[in-house]
Structure 1
Amino acid sequence: MGALVPLSRPGWVEAGRHLLAGLELGVREVNEAGGIAGSPLELVVRDTAADPGRAAAAVDELAGLGVAAVAGEYHSVVARAAAARADALGVPFLCSSAVLDALTDKPTEWVARLSPAQSHGWRIYTDHLVGEGHGRIAVATVPSAYWASGTRVLRDHLAPRGGTVIELDMRALSPEAVCDALVEHRATALLLLVGHPDPAVPIVKAVRRDRRLAGILVGAPAGQPEFAEWAALLGEDGAGVPFLRYLPERTTPLGARVGTALRERLAEPPSFVAFEGYDTIAVLADVLRSSGADRARGAESWPRVAVEGTRGKIRFSRTPGIDVWQWTWAPVQVVDRDPAEPDRFRVLHVG
């Protein structure tokens, strides 16, 4: 099994570490239970470093090594490159964590995805913002297919309700200039559609220290506050920042057991990304048990998958507007860190 994971900068290393922990735990448990038809499952890991070209080359290499399937990746633009290459080579690819709707340019039988599509999750996030009375929303953003897609979802979902999205180009603005722009545009919320830790952390610090913006909401739909690095860098300033995570309201018995094992493996609370990694292996082990190492048969198995994952029953189907096999849907929550206790998460809204 090939695994694509961001393990070095400029990739989001902390997310990559959690994803890999879930993948490795899943493989360990499969092998402790006897492997696949008596043979151990081997995970061949490649670091993408958030580089689409590097990911595509890794898929080529893994295909040449004879892997039965490729899995993983966190960054959407990287997963898109991997999906395109897997489709071209005829290698099953199960995307663990990337959410960009257009994971491929055309319908494909070779690619499936566990994480919910961006349009689904970000609509739920927008519902939360509107429910909290936010109609003038600024987005601090940089050029990226992922951020541009997210901005479109926000704008399209807000416009019918009279809402407005104000784009702030972070190529031209300092964190202090962002504060001035928020005041000028009378924004009630600022969403961080930028990289972490830079420039996200300096922006949050600047906004929190600007008395003119005492009542503004800072949000991070892409999930930066989920990880310990966010809290370590921002402390109390990082609390009260709503983000998306893909966990159920109530933990299943499997989810509780896996959560305990992941906590021991990571030496910290596991993020939803770690659960995505574990569920990835649960799905692919099921596929391999039914189809063996034959890649074509493996790809044909997506619509027959019915696996109990850590966050619910996983099945794949064809979803309008999405060209890959999609789990519809992983549970979606809007969550923040409690200002009174920043190490504790509060569930604000459920999709």
Structure 2
Amino acid sequence: MNTPPSPAGMERTDGSSVQIGALVPLTRPGWVEAGRHLLAGLELAVREANDAGGIAGKPLELVVRDTAADPQRAAAAVDELARLGVAALAGEYHSVVARAAAARADALGLPFLCSSAVLDALTEQSTAYVARLAPAQSHGWRIYADYLLGAGHRRIAVAAQPSLYWASGVRILRDHLAPRGGTVTELDLGALAPTAVCDELVGARATVLLLLAGHPEPAVSIVKSVRRDRRLAEIVIGAPAGQPEFATWATSLGDDGAGIPFLRYLPERLGPLGARVETALRERLAEAPSFVAFEGYDTITVLADVLRSYGTDRASITESWPRVSVEGTRGQIRFSRTPGINVWQWAWPPVQVVDRDPARPDRLRILHTG
């Protein structure tokens, strides 16, 4: 069972434990299911670190704060966690929220290992304090675009909500597809109802509709409208941000949610560590773990290794990023400076394009790897 976040002021501040602050979306409008999986991975790795003796004889403690997909709330949580004396920050799923957290962590000199956010510009300027496990959006979404091109698609429509993250995704797709003969038509979900999206798709003669929109709404309503429109029987729906990864997608859409390609950051086959962790996460979650749960586990695995090897003070943690070499559930994790990325980056985790099998929507099919 997942333990709830500790109430403010209830954490141990007497130095009897080594604390890591965890930023996780646990309430709406955050993507709660992603937050639950992220927290499960973080907690499992903390438990295993403590079973192995903790950090220099002290237990590792996770101090959890709910960001609720709110950048201001996340920034305030970083300030609070810094005052509490955490050694480092971990987590966060939403890119725009992680960006706000990274800015505060950089300003405060607090090491932050970001688990899941992919926005390339996680910070405005180069920082020594922030490292990231998830692949940059430009890396993963180019792989997704290559999959579309390989499947013969050149006329792409995107149904996008207003957001820095979605706008970045549109730009990546357009820049990658245009030199290869692809076009991207943007449909503004701030102005279009789901039925109007269908009309626009017919007019654009698009063969693919990409959902750059939140789940469950408006993504679920758009999928249902498109699936029921006979004019669009041949169109492919895609969701590069990974909305179909989680069980609630299948619950909300049933068969309509199958055959929708999305990005997932797992290898084709897990190694011994990954397989063991998958079993433990499945038991903890009572369902198949998403890639987000593995990202959470790997985050604490890296931080525990850093704390044991280089010390628990923030300066030592910050200086350790280029020396990290840790076996994670999805490969050997090392950080480097990557062109165009202002944080220490694992370049790169495995990337897959997968969908839910129309014959068995509870099963995921690998369509492409990058």
Q: TM-score, normalised by structure 2?
A: 0.95
* 1:31-64, Cα deviation, whole Å (9 max, x unpaired): 0010011110000000000000000000000000
| Cα distance in structure 2, aligned partners of 1:291 and 1:250 | 32
* SS in structure 1 at match of 2:61: coil
Residue aligning to 2:364: 345
Of 205, 211, 216 in structure 1, the residue corresponding to residue 230 of structure 2 is: 211
* SS in structure 2 at match of 1:128: helix
* SS in structure 2 at match of 1:167: strand
Of 83, 89, 101 in structure 2, the residue corresponding to residue 82 of structure 1 is: 101
Q: Alpha carbon RMSD of aligned pairs, Å?
A: 0.4
Residue aligning to 1:335: 354
How many residue pairs align between the two structures?
351
| Cα distance in structure 1, aligned partners of 2:183 and 2:151 | 15
| Cα distance in structure 1, aligned partners of 2:287 and 2:84 | 34
Q: CA deviation at 1:250?
A: 1.3
Q: CA deviation at 1:292?
A: 1.9
Q: Which aligned pairs between 1:1-351 and structure 2 lie closer than 5 A?
A: 1-351=20-370
* 1:271-303, Cα deviation, whole Å (9 max, x unpaired): 000000000000000110122221011100000
| Cα distance in structure 1, aligned partners of 2:232 and 2:203 | 11
Q: Which runs of 4+ in 1 moved over 4 A?
A: none
Q: CA deviation at 1:16?
A: 0.1
* 1:17-41, Cα deviation, whole Å (9 max, x unpaired): 0000000000000000100111100
Q: CA deviation at 1:142?
A: 1.2
| Cα distance in structure 1, aligned partners of 2:206 and 2:69 | 32
* SS in structure 1 at match of 2:192: coil
% identical equivalent positions: 81
* 1:91-120, Cα deviation, whole Å (9 max, x unpaired): 000000000000000000000000000000
- Give unmatched runs, 5+ long, in structure 2: 1-19
* 1:321-346, Cα deviation, whole Å (9 max, x unpaired): 00000000000000000000000000
